[in-house]
Amino acid sequence: MLFLRAMIAWRAGDLDDAEADGHAVLDLAVAYGFGHLTPGALAVLVDVLRERDDLGGAEALLADHGYEAGDGDGVFHLFLLHARARLHGARSRWPESFADLERGLARSDAMGIRSPGFVAWRANMAFAMFLSGRIAEAEELGRAALVEADRYGVRRARAEALRVLAMTVATDRSGVAAEAVSEFAKLGARLEEARTLVAVARSADVVGTPEEVRLLTEALSLAERCGATRVAAIASSTMKSLGVRGRKRPMSGLGALTASERRVTTLAAAGRTNREVAQELFVTMKTVETHLAHAYQKLGISSRNDLRRALAH
């Protein structure tokens, strides 16, 4: 259940919650010998670290658990292949990225997992093709991914395919882009919405227009709310090159706390122990400790007494 909640948080763009649950899953999997769950937990944590632009940390985590290369034969390994492919892409190691994506697609087919609702392999492969400069191939595979998503009725996979087409098609690009952004927004996938806004803002027919600044401003706001350093940095640096300064999410103070951190700190400040907070919120002790550690750092405090004063203030 913790793994599923971590995946939901990741797909929604709630990186802090995804990290907390991901670490809890990894700790439990190691402690109790649930080796089949380890790749799933690693997939979530690698994705979170990549979005925070800690590529070295993600690579070290994989190496620590023996997954810097190769794979296994369970369903959780599919998530790991997906995450590792995107990590390779962030390093521009395209041969390795495509190898993991192709391996994942072949493994899914062999396991009878045809729906892109599990992992949208073709849409992700098309996006990687676009990023690596293979534009014509990206458009062709993007169209195939859209057909696949519609066949199975998977809205997220459809939005991912539309994002590729918004960056590659020669006509009606703005209409396709608007549909992709709208679809991610309806799904509550804030991080993917931000990523799509950045991608569209960098397309040829938007660059240099007032629409570019509007898209980047919205993307920066969403990325900051998610704590997605990598996407936020791209949006921010592009805006800076245009002479525009974006308003960033506070990095400290009450405004920097996530929803989960607010829930935990409120209960802790009311006098509940970590164990009581964990029981009330249906989370692990490790999750409570992680949220409190993040909150203490953001608030510049070191104790529960300080926490009460900070929240009261």
| pLDDT tens per residue across span 252-303 | 677 778 778 888 999 999 899 999 998 888 888 888 998 899 899 888 998 8
What is the average per-residue pLDDT within 63-79?
89
For the chain, the average pLDDT equals 89
DSSP state string for 211-244: HHHHHHHHHHHHHHHHT-HHHHHHHHHHHHHTT-
Reported as a pLDDT band with limits 50, 70 and 90, residue 73 is: confident
**CA dihedral (289, 294, 295, 299) positive or negative:** positive
pLDDT at position 247 is 56
- Pick from 18, 4, 20: which is nearest to 286 by CA? 20
Query: Cβ–Cβ contacts within 10 Å for residue 74, how many?
Result: 17
- Pick from 124, 136, 58: which is nearest to 94 by CA? 124
Reported as a pLDDT band with limits 50, 70 and 90, residue 126 is: very high
Reported as a pLDDT band with limits 50, 70 and 90, residue 250 is: low
How many Å apart are CA 269 and CA 304, to the nearest integer?
Answer: 6
Decide: pTM greater than 0.75.
yes
Q: What are the residue boundaries of the structural domains of the chain, listed by start? A: 1-113, 254-312
Reported as a pLDDT band with limits 50, 70 and 90, residue 121 is: very high
The fold for domain 1-113 equals: 1.25.40
CATH number listed for the domain at residues 254-312: 1.10.10.10
What is the average per-residue pLDDT within 6-18?
92
